[in-house]
Structure 1
Amino acid sequence: MPHITANGIELCYETHGNPRDETILLVMGLGAQLAHWPIEFVEALASKGYHVVRYDNRDIGLSQKMGDAKPPKLVWQLLRKRIGFPMAVPYTLRDMADDGIALLEALEIERAHVVGASMGGMIAQLMAIHHAERLLSLTSVMSTTGNPRLPQAEKRAIEALTAPLPSMEEEAVIEHGINIARNITGPGFPADPEARRKRVQALVQRSVYPPGLPRQLAAIIDDGDRRSRLAQVTTPTLVLHGEDDPLVKLEAGKDTAKHIPGAKLVTIPGWGHDLPLDLVDRMVDEITGHTRSVSTAQSVSA
C-alpha cells in the first residue's frame, strides 16, 4: 500500500478510479482506519466517475505514529481548558486538516470534494475554514460543530468506544471492535453478525494501535466550538446525519447545517454512527448529487 510524505508526516493512502476525474477525498474518524470506509462505498463513488482517495490519519492505521508523544491525561487537559488554560496536546485537528491538504498537494490534485465522517467531518470542516481554495465541496457526515450545549452521547456508545482493551490478543481485540460496532449501529440497519465479525477481523489484522485514540481525542477536545469559524465557510456543503445516532446525536448534524451558510441537511431514519452496506447506494446518491450540482454551478458561472 503506497505511502507519501505530506505535512512532514508519512501517510498511507489508496486511490480508486480514473485520476483524470474529479477527486473525492475521504477523511475518516476517531481511531478509525481508511478501511473503515467500506470498499463497496469507495467503488460505488468511483463507478460514478470520481477519483477517490482515502487515507489513514496520522497516529492510526498504517500512517506515521506519533510515538514520541505521550497519550495525554484527558481529565487533566479538560480541567485546563475549563479554567481557561491552553491544552497541551501532541497535535491539533488543524494539523490533521493540513495533513489532508498536503496529501492532495503531494498527489498533485489541485482541488477536491472532501467527505469527512465523525472526527473526519470536523477535520473536513477545518479544511473548508482554512483551505477553501482547495475544496470543490464539503460533505460532513455524522459530525458536529463542537457546541458544548449539544446533547451528549448515549452512555452505552461512549463506554464501548473508550473501554480499554483487555489484552492485545487478536480475539480480544476483535471482540472489543464488535462491541463498539454493536453499540453505535442504528436500529434501522442491523448488521449481519458474521459479516460484522469478518469486517472487524480484517481491520484488526490490518492494524491495531491503541495509543493513537487518546491523542486524537485530545485534538478534538482542544479544537472546541467551531460555530463562529463555520460561519466563514463558503464551500458548498452537504450535511448527512443519522436520526438514531447514539454517539454524535442528530442535534449535532442540525447544528452543523445551521452554522454553515447555505448548507443542505439530509437526515436518515434508523441510521446510527456507522456506514452500513445497506446505506451505500443512498449515501453515494446524496454525495454525488451534491458534488455534481456544485460542478455544474461552477461550470455555468465560468
Structure 2
Amino acid sequence: MLIAHSIPELRHLLRHAQRPAFVPTMGNLHDGHLALLAKARELGDVSVASIFVNRLQFLPHEDFDSYPRTQADDEAKLRAAGCDVLFAPRETDLYPEPQTFKVVPDAALADLLEGEFRPGFFTGVCTVVMKLFSAVFAGKPEGVAVFGKKDYQQLMVIRRMVQQFVLPIDIVAADTSRAEDGLALSSRNRYLSADERAQALQLAQALRALGTQALAAGHSPAGTPASALAELESAALAQLSAQGWQPDYLTVRRRSDLLAPQPGDGDGAGSLVVLGAARLGSTRLIDNLEI
C-alpha cells in the first residue's frame, strides 16, 4: 500500500489510474469501513482510502479533539485488506488556509434530521468531500466513491451534490455493517462502556418496532394518517427515553427526500426508511432501517 500525505503526492500516485474507487473515512477503522473498501476494490482499477478527521463537520461542543485517532492500526488494517493507496493528509495539507469557500447543500434535504440537531454539519461534510473528490479524481474520466447506508442522510446529500455539480463519479451505497447482535458498526461505539454496549442495541430495536407499528397502523406508513404516525413516533421516543437514552429523533420518512410520507404516496412498500439518533450516556449513535 502506497501512502500520500499531500495532494500533489496523491495525484502523482494516481497518475496512471483511469477509474479510482474511493472510500473516505475519518479513521478509527472497523469492519464496516473494510466492507466499503472491499466493494470499492471490485469497482475501480485502483482502490483509494482516506483518513482525515474533518474539523469543519464538528460543532464546537462535539468530540473533534477526543475523536479516536488510530493511524498505525488503521494503516495495518487497510494494508491487510488490499488497499492500493492511502491518502492521510494533515490538516494543513487539506486546509492550507482558512476554508472560506464552502459547499452549502440544499436546506430542504440538509437542514432536517441530522441537520436540525447538528447545524452546519452537512456543509462541513460537503466541503471536505468536494476537496477529497478533487484530490482523488482530478483529470480522471470517471471514478467511483463508496458510502455506507448507516449515514443515510449523508449518502443522500453527497449523491445530490455529485448530481448537481455533474461530477463524473458514481456514488455507490453499501449496506450497513452490523455486529452479530445487530448493532450498527460505528467508530463511536468505542466510547461505550460495557453496560452501554449491551444497551446500545435498543436503538435498532426501537427503529424496527416503529416500522412494524407504522405498517400495522395503516397497512403502510404512507397510508397512516399523519397524526397517528406522529403518535407512534412520540411513543417510540418516550420508550427510548424511559430506557435511559436522550433521543433526538425516531421517525418514518420517504427514502426519496426524507420528508414525512403522504397519503398520495401509494402503499409505501420499499420506499420508506425509519431513522433514529439518540445519545446513550455521552455517546451519540445513529441508525436506520429501510422498510
Same structural fold, with TM-score higher than 0.5 when normalized by the shorter chain: no
The structure with the larger Rg is 2
Name the one with the larger strand percent.
2
TM-score (norm 1): 0.35
